[in-house]
Amino acid sequence: MKVGIYSPYLDTLGGGERYILTAAEFFLHRKDSVDIFWDKDSDLQDMAARFGLDLKGAKFVSNLFSGNFSFWQRLRKSYRYDLILVLSDGSIPLTLAKKNFIHLQVPFQKSNRPKIVNRLKLLTYKAVLCNSYFTKKIIDQTYGITSSVLYPPVDVNRFQPGKKEKVILSVGRFFAARHLHNFAPKKHQEMISAFEELIDSGLKDWKLRLLGANSPDQQSSLEQLKKIAQNYPIEISSNVDYEDLKTSFAQASIYWHAAGFGEDLDKHPERAEHFGITTVEAMASGAVPVVFAGGGQKEIIQDSVNGLFWQTPGELQTKTIQLIKNQSLTRKLAEKALIRSRDFSKQKFFRSLEDLLK
């Protein structure tokens, strides 16, 4: 089978890119031919290494979805494909592939096309996939459809608990200050402030470790965070390699996540965590997740069973101290979190994709 893969954001290497590149790995395991539509100067194997994927055999080809191709050229060339998988930026591209899958990872509340136009376009797609029921609810309303949920793949077998240290970890992309009109999606500054208050209140020997990807245009934002964190036991590192990332997960005792805090999620659902891949990775590594109670995180965690929810910085601090002081509770939640993480394995993702092909 000849398969085409497209993401307009491929070089950002975020959760959506992990999703569709893992799908590319699935097709390669089936001995299918895989083309990735991309024109920029990028190294596919570097991308694969970032996510711990085996993409040998896949290749970049001219991007049919760029302005270099007319609508009719795209249709003609797409006809050669048995299946095309698209990561949507909100638009619904038309292709003449025998089968079309589209992944809508953001709970878009608005579309630049009338609902009836989107519904007609989506009739050409065999599968409309969302990364959570949180996302699905908004997508179905916006586009007037009934989508399916295929949870993002997490290679939980690659993450193992290690010797636990007094480390609180958070993993999330470092965005530039101008991103989304000064909206900071991962709330790094809020977590730094919460941790500094814990230290000022007497917490000793613990450190906060913040890891995430960033690009040159985001460097000033990263440096600003480092300045805020000066004189406190806070480590901030960007673009760490996959093995170092796994080591940090293995060492962490507690995992923090703050996306969605302080936002009106009824008005801006896109500002919540749409699913929570790094939360699952932390759980697979035996860290207890302490995460903001919003978005797709509520589909991963059962409060006080395999993690803890918080809604205010005070709750984040209180529940973190509770774990630090009660090691029996920490071990209990970590064990349950590890079990729960397996529900989001890459193997389950592969089986679900296989079912969709039938």
C-alpha of 100 from chain center:
22
Encoding tokens for residue 78? 């797409």
C-beta separation of 55 from 47 below 8 A: yes
Which of 150, 179, 201 is a domain's end point? 150
Closest CA to 278 of 155, 161, 175: 155
Per-residue pLDDT band for 2 (boundaries 50, 70, 90) equals very high
The answer to whether residue 233 sits within a structural domain is yes
Report helix, strand or coil for 261.
coil
Residues 118-167 pLDDT 10s: 999 999 999 999 999 999 999 999 999 999 999 999 999 999 999 999 99
The residue type of 48 is A
pLDDT of residue 176: 64
113 and 187 share one domain: no
**pLDDT grade for 181, boundaries at 50, 70 and 90:** very low
Which tokens is 215 given? Answer: 């690009």
Question: What tens digit of pLDDT does each residue of 322-348 get?
Answer: 999 999 999 999 999 999 999 999 999
pLDDT tier at 216, thresholds 50, 70, 90 = confident
Q: Are residues 106 and 202 in the same domain?
A: no
Whether 212 and 294 map to the same domain: the answer is yes
285 located within any domain: yes
Residue 180 has pLDDT above 60, yes or no: no
The b/e string for 298-316 (b: 16+ C-beta within 10 A; e otherwise) is bbbbeeeebbbbbeebebb
User: With the CA atoms of 192, 197, 202 and 203 taken in that order, what torsion angle do they form, in degrees rounded to the nearest 10?
Assistant: -30
At residue 39, does pLDDT exceed 70? yes
The CATH number assigned to the domain holding 196 equals 3.40.50.2000
Domain range for 105 is: 2-150
> Could you tell me if 129 and 243 lie in one domain?
no
How confident is the prediction for the chain on average, in pLDDT?
94
Do residue 143 and residue 183 come from a single domain? no
Q: In whole angstroms, what is the distance from residue 150 CA to residue 133 CA?
A: 9
Q: Do 176 and 312 lie in a common domain? A: yes
- Identify the band that residue 183 occupies on the pLDDT scale cut at 50, 70 and 90: low
Q: Is the pLDDT of residue 199 over 90?
A: yes
Q: In the prediction, which pLDDT does 184 show?
A: 73
Give residue 14's pLDDT band: very low, low, confident or very high (50, 70, 90).
confident
pLDDT tens, 43-64?
A: 999 999 988 899 999 999 999 9
In a domain, 351, yes or no: no
User: What are 326's two structure tokens?
Assistant: 């009660």
How many domains are contained in the chain?
A: 2
Task: Output the six-digit token pair for 296.
Answer: 């797709």
Mean pLDDT of 161-189: 81
- What CA–CA distances, in Å, run from 199 to 234, 251, 349? 11, 20, 41
d(CA 300, CA 331): 18
Structural domain includes residue 358: no
Check pLDDT > 60 for residue 188.
Answer: yes
For residue 288, give the 3-state DSSP assignment.
Answer: strand
User: What is the spatial distance between Cα 308 and Cα 315, in angstroms, rounded to a whole number?
Assistant: 10
CB atoms within 10 A of CB 232: 14
